[in-house]
Amino acid sequence: MVVMKDTKRDILDAAEQLFAVRGPHATSLRQIIGRAKVNLAAVHYHFGSKELLLRAVMARRLVPLNAERLALLEGEERKSARRVMPLRNVLAALVGPALRLSRNPKKGGAVFMQLLGRCFMEPDPKIQAMLDNQLQEVAGRFIPALQRALPKLPPEDLFWRIHFLVGAMAHTMADAERLRAFSGGRCNPDDTEVMIEQLVNFLTAGFKAKSR
C-alpha cells in the first residue's frame, strides 16, 4: 500500500526504453514484460493493446513537452511585444525543449528523445497519425510565428524548410550517437547545449536563405 501501481509505470518505462532503441515495430511485448518483470497479460489489462501502450508512452512525455514549447513561444512573443520576434528565438522554442529532454533523465531523458525521433520516421500510418494529432497544436502556433519572423519568404519555401527542419531534428534526436563515431570523436552528442546551438544556428541560416 505504501508503494502502489508499480506495474503500470514499470511497463511504461520498459516500453519507452525498448521502443526507443529498437523502434516500436521491432519491439515485442514479451521483451517489454521481460524488462519490466511483470506478467504478459498485464499489458493488455492496463493498456488494452500494443498500439494503445505506445500511445500512452508518447502522451506521458509529449503533453508536457508541447506545453513547454508553447509556453516558451508565448514568453518570447510577450518579450518582443510589437517588434518582430527574432527567427532564432522561434526556432529555439521549437527545437530546444525537445533536445533538452536528454538533460532531464527524471522526465524521460535521452531515451524519450530518441523514441520521438524514431516515431517521426516510422512508416506505419497509425503512428504517423498519432504524431500528427499530438503535434497539431504546436504546428498551428509555430507556423504563423515563423511566417511573422520571415515576412518576405513565400509560403512554399517556408513549408519546404519546415520539412527539412523536421528531418534534421528527428535524425538528431533519434541518432545523435551515430555522429560521435562518424565525426571521429570530434562531436560530443552528450553536450546538449552545443547540440541545440549547432542545430539552431544551422536552421536559422537555412531559413534565412534567399528565395530563388
Partner DNA sequence: CATTCATTCAAACGTTCGTTTGAATCAGGC
Partner DNA sequence: GCCTGATTCAAACGAACGTTTGAATGAATG
Q: Is 126 in the site for a copy of itself (CB under 8 A)?
A: no
Residue 55 grid coordinates = 500511445
Using CB under 8 A, which of the segments 1-9, 39-47, 95-103, 117-125 binds a copy of itself?
A: 117-125
Nearest to 98 by CA among 179, 43, 168, 186: 168
Q: Which is nearer to a copy of itself, 66 or 114 (CB)?
A: 114
Q: How far apart are CA 57 and CA 53, in angstroms?
A: 6
Contact 15, 107 (CB under 8 A): no
Q: Is 43 in the site for DNA (CB under 7 A)?
A: yes
Compute the least distance from the CB of residue 137 to DNA, in Å.
Answer: 28
Q: Is 204 in the site for a copy of itself (CB under 8 A)?
A: yes
Q: Is 209 in the site for a copy of itself (CB under 8 A)?
A: yes
Contact 195, 149 (CB under 8 A): no
Place of cell 508553447: 70
Q: Is 51 in the site for a copy of itself (CB under 8 A)?
A: no
In the complex, the residues that contact DNA under the rule CB under 7 A are: 1, 5-7, 27-31, 38-46, 49-51
